[in-house]
Amino acid sequence: MGLPRRGLLHLAAVTGAATLPLLPRRLAAQAWPSRPVRWVVGFAPAGGNDIVARLMGQWLSERTGQPFIVDNKPGAATNIATEIVVNANPDGYTILLVGVAAAINATFYDNLSFSFLRDIAPAAGIMAIPLFVATSPSLPARTLPEFIAYARARPGKINMGSAGIGSSGHLAGELFNMMAGVNLVHVPYRGNGPALASLLSGEVQVVFPTPPSSIEFIRTGKLRGLATTGAARSPALPDMPAVGEFVPGYETTAWYGVGVPKATPPDIVDRIYREVAAGLADANLKARFADLGGAPMPLSSADFTKLIAEETDKWAKVIRRSNLKPV
């Protein structure tokens, strides 16, 4: 039996009222971005995080017609940048370049003013990438086994630069210390760019940098690439061995993605994911990332959240075993 006309009108009114709150959110997601987007990066210019943000940001700017402005806020292993985004208006116009430091910092720092997975919504994965073991060509060790022997003969005398305390390069080096039986002395900088500058000048002897920041130095012979930290050799430099070929079981991979303030509407989070995924499907951008040694990682919000949780658990074990503490 059908409803009376008055009942139908009442039902339509109730349904329409229930739908109204959804309309502004959907319209906002459809309109995003309608003004410039601030992309906060927790490292200095010229490092891997910065390069990835600028490449993806340029593509998104061209696609959407709105500028994606990279704002470098180095310091405290990305905690300064993360806190800026945690406290930003959750409207999709302040986003964070998320890296493996987010998973490391959860254990490395005891007194953070935020909890990453509580206060940041991972919106989209961008790229996964191994690190390199890079040394100065002036160092007599020309291969990874030679470098390990060289370092073992000089415990506490080989300086290892990194993008900062608790950065992926720092933890990769600490894991290398543990598994290769060496004692590299950590020297933190405010990004891979400054760390590599110190490697080029001879202030430090080894760095575990991201490929985007170091691959051209290695290709041109300004730095010596001894190995990649990935599970297999990098297609970008296929002649370079993996650390695991000489140190069984050693593997570490960096990754990048986009995060937003936790209260950002789900429709905008999904829109960010769809736009980033479209970029990763673009042949030209994909080729740029591949040339830097990376592989596209088009993870949705849920999948990116799962990855960060798994990486948080992995690095917590390394930090506790090594008894690492912030300086």
Tell me how far apart the alpha carbons of residues 204 and 185 are, in angstroms, rounded to a whole number: 9
Q: Find residue 258's DSSP bridge partners.
A: 97, 124
Q: Which of 134, 68, 114, 59 is nearest to 95 (CA)?
A: 68
Domains and CATH numbers, the chain: 34-129+253-322 (3.40.190.150), 132-245 (3.40.190.10)
Q: Residue 291: name the closest of 237, 232, 254, 226 by CA.
A: 237
State residue 6's pLDDT score: 52
- Burial zone of 144 (CB within 10 Å; 0-12 exposed, 13-18 middle, 19+ buried): buried
pLDDT for position 10: 52
Query: At 124, is the secondary structure helix, strand, or coil?
Result: strand
pLDDT of residue 4: 52
- DSSP 8-state assignment for residue 167: S
Neighbour-count burial of 92, counting CB atoms closer than 10 A to its CB (0-12 exposed, 13-18 middle, 19+ buried): buried
Conformational region of residue 202, where left means phi above 0, alpha means psi within -120 to 50, and beta covers everything else: left
Q: Which amino acid is at 108?
A: F
Cα 106–Cα 108–Cα 113 angle in degrees, nearest 5: 55
- How much is the pLDDT for 24? 59
Q: Write out the chain's pLDDT in tens, 327 residues.
A: 444 555 434 544 445 545 545 445 565 667 899 999 999 999 889 888 999 999 999 999 999 999 999 999 998 889 999 999 999 999 999 999 999 999 999 999 988 999 999 999 999 999 999 999 999 999 999 999 999 999 999 999 999 999 888 888 999 999 999 999 999 999 999 888 899 999 999 999 999 998 888 999 999 999 999 999 998 999 889 999 999 999 999 999 999 999 999 999 999 999 999 999 999 999 999 999 998 888 999 999 999 999 999 999 989 988 998 888 887
Element of type H or E holding 280: helix 266-281
pLDDT at 21: 53
Closest CA to 218 of 164, 291, 161: 291
